[in-house]
Homo-oligomer: A and B are copies of this chain.
Amino acid sequence: MTAYKDLSKEELLELKSGLEAQFEEVKAKGLKLDMSRGKPSADQLNLSMGMMDTLTSGVDLTCEDGVDCRNYGGLDGIDEAKQLLADMMEVPKDNVIIFGNSSLNVMYDTVARAMTHGIMGSTPWCKLDKVKFLCPVPGYDRHFAITEHFGIEMINVPMTSTGPDMDMVEKLVSSDPAIKGIWCVPKYSNPQGITYSDETVFRFANLKPAAEDFRIFWDNAYCVHHLYEDKQDYLIEILMECKKAGNPDMVYKFSSTSKISFPGSGIAAMAASDANLEDIRSTMRVQTIGHDKVNQLRHVRFFGDIHGIVEHMKKHADILRPKFETVLEVLERELGGLEIGSWIAPRGGYFISFDALDGCAKAIVAKAKEAGVVMTGAGATFPYGKDPHDSNIRIAPSYPTPEELAVAAEVFVLSVKLASVDKILETK
């Protein structure tokens, strides 16, 4: 394979005309494929249908502590659901609150609460002139949407292969009291599939923030979402690390069963120090009488315990793995050696992150769309939707069938080649 940049203008033009012919053929097929969102497939949802049979009219819906799950009460979750999610989040049961169906909603509420009421007695953020968040990039668009919604200034921090650039994080967090938080997806990160190294977690736990109300928003969305049984990433548990470092209150951990049971009907949880949880409960008491305990019990009765979740996730992996491998195989086969893009083969999570030549991401996504393949919008992985290099594209292989995926991946690499040829031609 010759790298595109080493081709002559004539060679590139010839290549382009061949690629364009291929593209017209593909376009003629009238495809309708979607690799835009990290959405489980119907096959994956079917794995949890047994949950529907756990609570029927003949079943006693009383919790272990005697509470009738159907009635009011149970502000922060039923004990057995706390235990299940605590084990998944690797924290003590008493450091967990169970919420409704959406951890995103919990994160939104956490920021909203800080805006109107501050954190553990600090000044409400809405009373401050400026509030800033650090945003490791590329990252999760819905995180960035929350901070943007509340007018919080977002500062890009580059991701490395071991997590965010910690030199930059340390420097900014320790010097600027307006920096109140950082968005993290520490395991199988969205979109790169990177797991933060031990050193990165250690450095997070040992931050010396200028703001007393600085919090790490640790969205461990993919904590048990491995693709392989034998190749798994390990992440140091940060709540304990923070406690050891004398920063017990510095982190909010989030997780949910959205990509374990049902995306719309799972249960979400938050883990934090006693002081943080009491602060949160004081608002929750006003906000609701309690979340859906029947659904909490349904999850507990179906999974039993953390081992049940681990076994269940192997079934998800069996469905997802071939899809990831299909995409990776096409990327390697079609783009290897061309030096027009790079990617990481993740061991878990829901995405493959693709870095195109600078200035090509938008053109690639547009090209793929022209041929009927919807990708996540270029720029979406950056705050304000602005990728300064116009380079990063998030590939979500979970939803299409393997057959659809093979076709979609071919369309994608073709789009990459076309956009790259055009870009390189500009310089010849």
A286 within 8 Å of B by Cβ? yes
- A108 in contact with B265 (CB, 8 Å): no
Interface string of A56-77 (1 = CB under 8 A from B): 1101000000001111111000
Query: For residue A150, which residue of chain B has the nearest CB?
Result: B116
- Which one, B55, B126, B294, contacts A126 given CB within 8 A? B126
A37 to B72, CA, bound (A): 10
A151 nearest CB neighbor, chain B only: B116
B70 touches A45 (CB 8 A): yes
- Give chain A's interface residue range (CB within 8 Å of chain B): 35 or more
Q: List 13 A-B contacts (CB under 8 A).
A: A37-B72, A39-B71, A52-B57, A69-B264, A70-B262, A72-B258, A74-B264, A102-B290, A104-B288, A116-B116, A142-B289, A264-B290, A295-B295
CB–CB B104/A289 < 8 A: yes
Report the Cα distance A109→B70, complex, angstroms.
23
**Complexed CA–CA distance, A291 and B268 (Å):** 12
CB <8 Å contact, A145 and B264: no
Q: Provided the pairs A45-B70, A264-B293, A265-B293 are in contact, do residues A53 and B56 lie with their beta carbons within 8 angstroms?
A: yes
Q: Does A263 contact B (CB under 8 A)?
A: yes
A49 within 8 A of B: yes
- Name the residue on B nearest A145 (C-beta): B286
| Cβ contacts under 8 Å, A72 to chain B | 37, 39, 258, 263-264
Tell me whether A163 is interfacial, beta carbon within 8 Å: no
Q: Which residues of B have CB within 8 Å of A42?
A: 68, 71
Which of A264, A290, A291 has the most chain B CB atoms inside 10 A of its CB? A264
* A 29-43 binary contact with B (CB < 8 Å = 1; else 0): 000000001011010
CB within 8 Å of B: which A134-157 residues: 142, 145-146, 149-150
Which chain B positions have C-beta within 8 A of A101?
100, 291-292
Does A7 belong to the interface (CB within 8 Å)?
no
> Quick check: is A19 within 8 A (CB to CB) of the other chain?
no
Q: Which residues of B contact A104 (CB under 8 A)?
A: 287-289
User: With an 8 A cutoff between CB atoms, is A402 at the interface?
Assistant: no
> Which residue from B70, B150, B264 sits with its C-beta under 8 Å from A71?
B264
Q: Mark A157-169, 1 if CB is under 8 A from B, else 0.
A: 0000000000000
